[in-house]
Chain A
Amino acid sequence: MNKKNPYTSHFTFIGIFLKTAKIDKDVMSNTHISPSEGSRLNTRHLLSIADLHRPDIDSLLDLAETYLDLSVQKDARNNVLAGKTLINLFFENSTRTEKSFELAGRRLGADVINMSMATSSASKGETLLDTATTLNAMNPDLLVIRHSASGAPALLSQKVSCAVINAGDGTHEHPTQALLDALTLRTRLGAIDGLRIAICGDILHSRVARSNVQLLNILGAEIRLIGPPTLIPLDADQWGVEVYHDMKGGLKGCDVVMMLRLQLERMSGSFVPSKREYFHFYGLDRSKLEYAAPGALVMHPGPMNRGVEISSDIADDPNISLITRQVETGVAMRMAILHLLSQGGDTEV
Chain B
Amino acid sequence: MPKLAISNARLIDPKSGYDKRGDLLVEDGVIVAFGTDLFAEGLSPDIENIDADGLILCPGLIDMRVVTGEPGAEHKETLASAGRAAAAGGVTSMVVMPQTNPVIDDISLVDFIGRRARETSPVNVYAAGALTKNLDCTDMTELGLMSEAGAVMFSNGDAPISNAGLMRRLMAYSSAFNALIAHRPVDPDLSRNAVAHESDFSARLGLTAAPAAAERIMAERDIALVELTGARYLLDLISSTETLPALRRAKSRGLDVSASVSINHLALNELDIGDYRTFAKLDPPLRGEDDRQALLKAVNDGSIDIIVSAHDPRPSGDKRRPFAEAGFGAASLEMLLPAGLTLVADGQLDLIAFLRAVTSTPADMLGLPQGVLEIGAPADLVLIDPGKPWMCNVDNLRSHSRNTPFDGRLMQGAAVVTICNGKIVFDNHRV
CB closest chain-B residue, reference A268:
B139
A229, A234, A270, A277: the one contacting B142 at CB < 8 Å is A277
Return chain A residues, CB-CB under 8 Å to B169: 230, 270-271
B145 close to A (CB within 8 Å):
yes
Known contacts being A268-B139, A272-B140, A273-B140, is A280 close to B176, with CB within 8 Å?
no
Whether A280 contacts B144 by the Cβ 8 Å rule is yes
A101 CB, min distance to chain B CBs, angstroms: 36
Q: Is the Cβ of B229 less than 8 Å from the Cβ of A229?
A: yes
Q: Given that A229-B229, A269-B133 are contacting pairs, would A276 and B172 also be in contact in the complex, using a CB cutoff of 8 Å?
A: no
Quick one: which of A230, A270, A276 contacts B145, CB cutoff 8 A? A276
Q: Does B173 contact A (CB under 8 A)?
A: yes
B140 touches A270 (CB 8 A): yes
Which of B133, B138, B139, B172 has a CB less than 8 Å from the CB of A230? B172
Beta-carbon contacts of A214-239 to B below 8 Å, as 1s and 0s? 00000000000000111000100000
Kindly state the separation between the CA atoms of A245 and B173 in the bound complex, as whole angstroms: 9
With both chains docked as a complex, state the minimum distance between the C-beta of A229 and any C-beta of chain B, in angstroms: 4
User: What is the predominant secondary structure among interface residues of chain B facing chain A?
Assistant: helix
Q: Would you call A7 an interface residue if the criterion is a C-beta within 8 Å of the partner chain's C-beta atoms? A: no
B141 at the interface (CB under 8 A from A): yes
Total B residues in contact with A, Cβ cutoff 8 Å: 17
How many Å from the CB of B206 to the closest CB on chain A?
Answer: 41
Give bound CA distance, A281 to B177, whole Å.
Answer: 11
A271 to B138, CA, bound (A): 11
Q: List, in ascending order, chain A residues with CB within 8 A of B175's CB.
A: 229, 245
Enumerate B115-148 residues with CB–CB distance to A below 8 Å: 132-133, 138-145
How many residues belonging to A are interface residues under a CB distance threshold of 8 Å? 17
Q: A105 to nearest B CB, angstroms? A: 42
- Compute how far the CA of A277 lies from the CA of B142 in the bound complex, rounded to whole angstroms: 6
Q: In angstroms, how far is the closest chain B Cβ from the Cβ of A255?
A: 24
Within residues 245 to 274 of chain A, which ones have a CB less than 8 A from any CB in chain B? 245-246, 268-274
Tell me the B149-194 residues at the A interface (CB within 8 Å): 169, 172-173, 175-176
- Cα-based distance from A210 to B173 in the complex (angstroms): 21
For B173, list chain A residues within 8 Å (CB).
Answer: 228-230, 271-273
Knowing A280-B144, A280-B145 are in contact, say whether A269-B176 is a contact too (CB < 8 A).
no
Please determine whether A269 and B143 come into contact, CB atoms closer than 8 angstroms: no
Chain B residues with CB below 8 A from A268, complex form = 139
- Docked CA distance A229–B140 (Å): 14
Residues of A within 8 A of B142 (CB): 273-274, 276-277
Interface residues of B (CB under 8 A from A): 132-133, 138-145, 169, 172-173, 175-176, 228-229
| New A-B pairs, 18, CB < 8 Å, besides A269-B141, A270-B139, A277-B143 | A228-B176, A229-B172, A229-B173, A229-B175, A229-B229, A230-B173, A234-B228, A246-B176, A268-B139, A269-B132, A270-B169, A272-B140, A273-B139, A273-B140, A273-B144, A277-B142, A277-B144, A280-B145
8 tightest A-B contacts by CB? Answer: A269-B139, A245-B176, A229-B172, A273-B142, A277-B142, A273-B140, A269-B140, A230-B173
Sample of 14 A–B contacts (CB below 8 Å): A230-B173, A245-B176, A269-B132, A269-B133, A269-B138, A270-B139, A272-B140, A272-B173, A273-B142, A273-B143, A273-B145, A277-B143, A280-B145, A281-B144
